[in-house]
Amino acid sequence: MSEDRVREALRAVPRVQFLPRAQRAHADEDRALPLWHGSTGSQPSTVEAMLRLLDVPPGASVLDVGAGSGWTTALLAWLVGPDGDVLGLELDPELAVWGAANLAEYLGTPAGAGRATPRARLEIAPPGTVGRSRPGGWDRILVSAAARTLPDELVGMLADPGRLVLPIRSTMHLLVVADGQVSDTTHGSYAFVPLR
């Protein structure tokens, strides 16, 4: 995916719309911002790096684990366009409801309605689960929380070919499934809240 396409998505989906009112004055700062219950909104440069690794094509199906405020789900909806399918999952019920409302508000705007799809949604993740299976698998999976080890169940949810981007402890990993083989490469160090 071209770097310009990711930057275009970041311009088209303003972070400020996905922050609590108390944090909106800091929306343009390149740092993680607190949401609540220990959750944070990821810093824009980290989100940009993850989206580049994910390489989301138009029309893709994407699972967004740890969707939080809904910002990454909205960015992914913009990237997949009207023929794509994006499911954001968030474990914290209060955060998930707020994130879903943020996403719905964005999708209802001319910027959101023009590029995104009604098949973008954010839901509460059932406790004790990581992700959600989909017939044929997900083309892309983005995880915005740090796992202790690689969650094999997420790898099993990928389509072939497919890509999974997630932090494991403090290291960003890109897993690529192609022709039945899985490759794993690392791409720098980042700080994330733990994946629960």
Q: Which residues participate in catalysis according to the annotation?
A: 42
- By residue count, the chain amounts to 196
- Rounded-to-integer distance, Cα 196 and Cα 38, Å: 12
**Which of 159, 144, 158 lies closest to 196, judged by CA?**
144
Q: Side-chain half-sphere of 128: how many Cα atoms within 13 Å?
A: 0
- Rounded-to-integer distance, Cα 82 and Cα 74, Å: 12
**Which of 63, 57, 59 lies closest to 6, judged by CA?**
57
- Rounded-to-integer distance, Cα 173 and Cα 184, Å: 7
CA 8 to chain centre: 16
Q: Side-chain half-sphere of 27: how many Cα atoms within 13 Å?
A: 16
Q: Is 153 exposed, middle or buried (0-12, 13-18, 19+ CB in 10 A)?
A: exposed
